[in-house]
Amino acid sequence: MKKLLLLPFLFLMLYAYAQGDYQAALSEAIQQLRAAKTAEDQQPVANKIQRIAEAEPKEWLPAYYAAYANTGLSFLLKEETQRDAVLDKAQTYLDRALKLKPQESELFALQAYLHQARLVISPMARGMKYAGLATVALEKAKELNPHNPRVYFLLGQNAFNTPKMFGGGPAAAKPILETAKEKYRSFTPSHALAPAWGEQASLALLAKCD
Amino acid sequence: MKTVVLFTLLLLTPLLSQAQIILQGQVLDGSGQPVVGANVYLKGLYEGASTDGAGAFSFTTKETGTQTLVVSFLGFSPLEQPVNLSQPVPAFRLTLKPDQRQLQTVTITAGAFEASDEKRGALLTSRDIVTTAGASADIMGAVNTLPGTQKVGEEGKLFVRGGDSYESKTFIDGLLVANPYNASVPDVPSRGRFSPFLFSGMAFSSGGFSAEYGQALSSALLLQSQGLAEESQTGFSLMSVGASLSRTKRWQNTSLAVSGEYTNLQPYMNLVPQRRAWRHMPETKAGSLVFRHKPSATGLIKLYGTYADSHLGLLQPNLDQPASPTPIDVRNRNLFLNSTYEETFQEKWTLQAGMAFTHTVDNLAAGDARVNTQENAWTGKAVLIRDLHHAVTLRTGLEVQLRGYRQQYRQRLEDDHRTAAVPEQNLAGFAEADVYLGDKLVARPGLRWERSTFLAQNALSPRLALAYQVSTHGQVSFAYGHFYQTPENDLLKYRQPLTFERAAHYILNYQRTANQRTLRVEGYYKDYRNLVRYNAPQLLQATEITNGGHGYARGVEIFWRDQKTVKGADYWVSYSLLGSKRLYKGYPVAARPGFASYPQREPGVQADDFPNQDLRGRHR
């Protein structure tokens, strides 16, 4: 009888083991992602996160980080076609995450980041289109969570890189990035794996505004 | 105590039960080079690794039984292989196959110039079109700077490789545009009807184009319209010559844009002295509507409608009576509707269906003569695209065109009207396949069948295009095809027994793109048969119209674009060499046509074969 009582324990433990597996593995990969400085470093981490995302098709966070890692990778690669190709991959993971959690502010912020990554590949040809798309995504992200600091960081980045004659430039970006600084300070991630990137880059950009 | 032992045992179970197996090996591409950064893993599991600089990988797994090993990397088809983990696994040697469609290492470039914001490897972007100097944001004006076109200043239309302007056709989202130019009078260049901002991509083919397009002897200009509008906005502009108002609204999966425009050149022409004696300054009232809806993640419905009413009048010098120039008055009303639907089914089938309708009324008064022309044209088309396997894409389609043309004419006010009508039904079907033969060679064979009820004739056009990659950055393309076109309504209306005009194209092309520099050299030969010919210099005096004409055009074109050498600058230079003679219309002998001469010469006057050379350059 006593042994039978242990059975639910056994299942619970196996469940915790499986769960812990995904969270621990993802958490480890996020650490590695922070440390990656070159495309050669980042590609294996992106691959690792993709493996987790492929094995956990019902979780939005692995898909989110797979999209985030590939977007980051696009900035590190040199060849245009490769940069677009990893962004295509990022977009498929982001679309998957959006299907799982359609009302998540972080996903729209990441969408804006992805549009910006497309833009920088060819600013002259793509500027108008992708700056507009990024703005639309950021408005949506802000509407879903006005306290998401990444929204203000990316809005600030958009403004910073928009030519002065179209209402952008450092002076226009500064107040937005000040808000971003505030939002980052008061932001507490809801759980260990919650998106928490962008603060350092945001502060660095703010420093350039003076 | 027993319980504690059991509990400890339970805790250890997951660890104890799993012996580790090492999986290792090397991933190579088709030519034996290591693939760096490939993702190697067991399907559905976290266990895996990325290949290192030597293409090698190694990882351990605690899984048992039969699992699937997956290798994936950008630009390659994913590789899956079963692996039995119950026994020691020998080292792998895996070869990835390139995904031809994803990589597009080799593409067919013969005869084709592409402008696209999305497609990699396009020679131009749509911004290049808008900002081309001297084109005044006119699509046709910009295309006129590309090799293979002859700039014919007084017409403003497209003349391609020794062909007349009627041999070049415009297609929007695959549908033939019956009337792409605004109405004009002799010596006043006409402009394209459509704003370049409506389009996200353009492909200009100066010959050898796909079996999907027919009814054009020389060239096809393919315009790809924009998708959903990005954001809601209102625009208002006030110019010295007019004003426009536009409103765009974007919903989640739908967008709608409406605009209205009024232009009148009077203020401008009052300021800038004109050589022409204007009676009615060019005036246009126009409106347009653009609707887009995404019914699903992969589907898209597009609807575009535009209406324009333009009017102009002037005094045309009359050579017979210099003292009394002829008053000319032109009024044109044009309604154009274009709707398309695209959907992908089961990731393998793509359907593109569309319908277009054009209604045109032209009222022309020249002195006492009056010509009123009305044309209704309806086009329906459906194309089915199917990926057969990783290296073959098949396109098949059907096209129907119904055209009703009616003209009323009288020489003097007191004359009776003469009426001419051309009812035409054109039915066409085509099939075409893109076949990748290895990673260096692609072939595109195609066949197009066409039937005209007015001519009571059938035509079968074979087409073939090949591209072969000769070096890392260079490739050679070849294109061949037969092209048929129904003669113009102005000729058909006399109801003489006519047949299709025909051209055969042979094109050889070399293109090299590296380091943001592009060199493109193309040679071609075009053979015309069955061109319409009549037995008087002017059509009005002719008593016999036949398909007795013929002609040829041959030449070499060089295009060089450099975005690298001069920092911040981007320039291109194009050079065209053209030799052409034809016997058509009222020509008494085979001669170089006026539009293929530089400087412009009268047809028939210059019957030598002195080639037309033309060098154009452009930089920013």
Residue A164 class from Cβ within 10 Å (0-12 exposed, 13-18 middle, 19+ buried)?
Answer: exposed
Residue B41 and residue A43: Cβ atoms within 8 Å? no
Chain B residues with beta carbon closer than 8 angstroms to that of A54: 41, 43-44
Longest CA span, chain A: 79
Q: Print burial letters for B236-256: b (CB count within 10 Å at least 16), e (below 16).
A: eeeeebbebebebebeeeebb
Domain presence at residue B276: no
Nearest CA to B173 out of B225, B211, B219 is that of B225
Task: Specify whether B135 is located in the same domain as B90.
Answer: no
Distances (CA, A) of B128 to A40, A75, B135, B294, B564: 35, 26, 11, 29, 16
Determine phi and psi for B343, rounding to 5 degrees.
-150, 145
Domain presence at residue B204: yes
Chain B residues with beta carbon closer than 8 angstroms to that of A51: 39, 41, 45-48
Q: Which residues contact B567 (CB under 8 A, 6 or more apart)?
A: none
Q: Please identify among residues 89-148 of chain A the ones whose CB lies closer than 8 Å to any CB of chain B.
A: 89, 95, 124-126, 129, 132-133, 135-136
Residue B48 and residue A129: Cβ atoms within 8 Å? no
- Indicate the domain borders of chain A: 40-102, 127-189+197-210
DSSP-derived 3-state class of residue A129: helix
Residue B230 and residue A132: Cβ atoms within 8 Å? yes
Chain A residues with beta carbon closer than 8 angstroms to that of B250: 136
Instruction: Please indicate if any CB of chain A lies within 8 Å of the CB of B130.
Output: no
Residue that terminates a domain, selected from B61, B96, B131: B96
Position B542: which residue type?
A
pLDDT of res. B1: 53
Instruction: Please indicate if any CB of chain A lies within 8 Å of the CB of B50.
Output: yes
Chain A residues with beta carbon closer than 8 angstroms to that of B127: 124-125
Task: Specify whether B64 is located in the same domain as B125.
Answer: no
The pair of three-digit structure tokens given for residue B11, joined into one six-digit string: 């805790």
Task: Specify whether B211 is located in the same domain as B82.
Answer: no
Which residue is associated with the tokens 């995450």? A97
pLDDT of res. B106: 67
Residue B48 and residue A85: Cβ atoms within 8 Å? no
Q: Report the residue of chain B nearest A133, measured CA to CA.
A: B230
What is the rounded CA–CA span in Å between residue A110 and residue B100?
Answer: 30
DSSP-derived 3-state class of residue B221: strand
Q: Which of B7, B58, B230, B564 to mutate to test the interface with A (most CBs of A within 10 A)?
A: B230
- SS3 readout for B498-557: CCCEEEEEEEEEEEEEECCEEEEEEEEEEEEEEEEEECCCCHHHCCCEEEEEEEEEEEEE
Domain presence at residue B149: yes
Residue B45 and residue A51: Cβ atoms within 8 Å? yes
Q: Report the residue of chain A nearest B131, measured CA to CA.
A: A125
Chain B residues with beta carbon closer than 8 angstroms to that of A70: none
What is the rounded CA–CA span in Å between residue B98 and residue B388?
Answer: 16
Instruction: Please indicate if any CB of chain A lies within 8 Å of the CB of B120.
Output: yes
Distances (CA, A) of B125 to A124, B168, B199, B331, B466: 10, 22, 11, 35, 25
Residue B6 and residue A6: Cβ atoms within 8 Å? yes
Residue B46 and residue A51: Cβ atoms within 8 Å? yes
Distance from CA of A38 to the nearest CA of B (A): 12
Residue that terminates a domain, selected from B49, B68, B96: B96
Chain A residues with beta carbon closer than 8 angstroms to that of B231: 132, 135-136
Nearest to B41 among A14, A17, A51 (CB): A51
Q: Which residues contact B36 (CB under 8 A, 6 or more apart)?
A: B51, B52, B53, B55
Phi-psi region of B43 (alpha: psi -120 to 50; beta: other; left: phi over 0): beta
Task: Specify whether B69 is located in the same domain as B206.
Answer: no
What is the rounded CA–CA span in Å between residue B553 and residue B544?
Answer: 26
Distance from CA of A43 to the nearest CA of B (A): 6
Instruction: Please indicate if any CB of chain A lies within 8 Å of the CB of B199.
Output: no
Q: Print burial letters for B280-314: b (CB count within 10 Å at least 16), e (below 16).
A: bbbbbbbbbebbbbeeeeeebebbbbbbbebbbbb
Instruction: Please indicate if any CB of chain A lies within 8 Å of the CB of B49.
Output: yes
Residue B14 and residue A17: Cβ atoms within 8 Å? yes
Chain B residues with beta carbon closer than 8 angstroms to that of A13: 10-11
Instruction: Please indicate if any CB of chain B lies within 8 Å of the CB of A163.
Output: no
Q: Note if the bond before A149 is cis, omega within 30 degrees.
A: no
Q: Report the residue of chain A nearest B200, measured CA to CA.
A: A129
DSSP string, A25-51: HHHHHHHHHHH--SHHHHHHHHHHHHH
Chain B residues with beta carbon closer than 8 angstroms to that of A129: 117, 230
What is the rounded CA–CA span in Å between residue B543 and residue B549?
Answer: 16
Nearest to A43 among B7, B37, B75 (CB): B37
Domain encompassing residue B440: 112-228+294-619
pLDDT of res. B100: 60
Task: Specify whether B143 is located in the same domain as B171.
Answer: yes
Per the DSSP assignment, residues forming a β-bridge with B60 are B22
DSSP-derived 3-state class of residue B304: strand
User: Which CATH number covers residue B395?
Assistant: 2.40.170.20
Q: Report the residue of chain B nearest A6, measured CA to CA.
A: B7
Distance from CA of A51 to the nearest CA of B (A): 5
Q: Which of A1, A15, A21, A51 to mutate to test the interface with B (most CBs of B within 10 A)?
A: A51
Terminal alpha carbon distance of chain A:
73
DSSP-derived 3-state class of residue A6: helix
What is the rounded CA–CA span in Å between residue A80 and residue A84?
Answer: 6
Q: Are A112 and A138 in contact (CB under 8 A)?
A: yes
Task: Specify whether B528 is located in the same domain as B433.
Answer: yes
Instruction: Please indicate if any CB of chain A lies within 8 Å of the CB of B125.
Output: yes
Domain presence at residue B181: yes
pLDDT of res. B291: 94
Task: Specify whether B554 is located in the same domain as B447.
Answer: yes
pLDDT of res. B135: 63
Q: Which of A2, A45, A47 to mutate to test the interface with B (most CBs of B within 10 A)?
A: A47
Instruction: Summarize the confidence of residues A92-99 as an average pLDDT.
Output: 93
Residue that terminates a domain, selected from B96, B121, B141: B96
Instruction: Please indicate if any CB of chain A lies within 8 Å of the CB of B41.
Output: yes
Mean predicted lDDT score pLDDT of chain A? 86
Q: Report the residue of chain B nearest A21, measured CA to CA.
A: B46
pLDDT tens, B270-329?
887 777 788 888 888 989 999 999 998 788 999 999 999 999 888 888 877 888 888 999
- CA dihedral over B595, B601, B602, B605, signed as positive or negative: negative
Task: Specify whether B221 is located in the same domain as B117.
Answer: yes
Q: Are B510 and B476 in contact (CB under 8 A)?
A: yes
Instruction: Please indicate if any CB of chain B lies within 8 Å of the CB of A85.
Output: yes
pLDDT of res. B384: 95
pLDDT tens, A156-166?
998 888 888 77
Q: Which of B45, B46, B252 to mutate to test the interface with A (most CBs of A within 10 A)?
A: B46
Chain A residues with beta carbon closer than 8 angstroms to that of B3: 2-3, 6
Q: Are A100 and A59 in contact (CB under 8 A)?
A: yes
Position B88: which residue type?
P
Give, as one character, the DSSP assignment of residue B361. Answer: E
Residue B117 and residue A85: Cβ atoms within 8 Å? no
Domain presence at residue B280: no
The pair of three-digit structure tokens given for residue A68, joined into one six-digit string: 């985030």
Distance from CA of A149 to the nearest CA of B (A): 23
What is the rounded CA–CA span in Å between residue B318 and residue B605?
Answer: 22
The secondary element (H helix, E strand) that includes residue B467 is: strand B457-469
pLDDT of res. A11: 54
Domain presence at residue B271: no
Chain B residues with beta carbon closer than 8 angstroms to that of A9: 10
What is the rounded CA–CA span in Å between residue B130 and residue B405?
Answer: 34
Q: Report the residue of chain A nearest B14, measured CA to CA.
A: A14
User: Which CATH number covers residue B68?
Assistant: 2.60.40.1120
How many CB atoms sit inside 10 A of residue A126's CB?
19
Chain B residues with beta carbon closer than 8 angstroms to that of A136: 230-231, 250
Q: Are B152 and B140 in contact (CB under 8 A)?
A: no
Q: Are B63 and B41 in contact (CB under 8 A)?
A: no
Q: Report the residue of chain A nearest B127, measured CA to CA.
A: A125
Nearest to B50 among A47, A54, A82 (CB): A47
Distances (CA, A) of A141 to A71, A174, B506: 18, 20, 55
What is the rounded CA–CA span in Å between residue A162 and residue A168?
Answer: 5
- CA dihedral over B189, B194, B200, B206, signed as positive or negative: negative
What is the rounded CA–CA span in Å between residue B481 and residue B208?
Answer: 6
The parts of chain B modelled with pLDDT lower than 70 are 1-19, 100-106, 115-127, 129-130, 133-137, 186-187, 598-620
ipTM score above 0.90: no
Distances (CA, A) of B308 to B171, B223, B362, B408: 19, 20, 12, 22
What is the rounded CA–CA span in Å between residue B26 and residue B48?
Answer: 13
Q: Report the residue of chain A nearest B44, measured CA to CA.
A: A55
How many separate domains does chain B show?
A: 2
- CA dihedral over B541, B547, B549, B554, signed as positive or negative: positive
What is the rounded CA–CA span in Å between residue A168 and residue A184?
Answer: 23
pTM here is 0.74
Strand B79-84, strand B168-172: pairing: unpaired
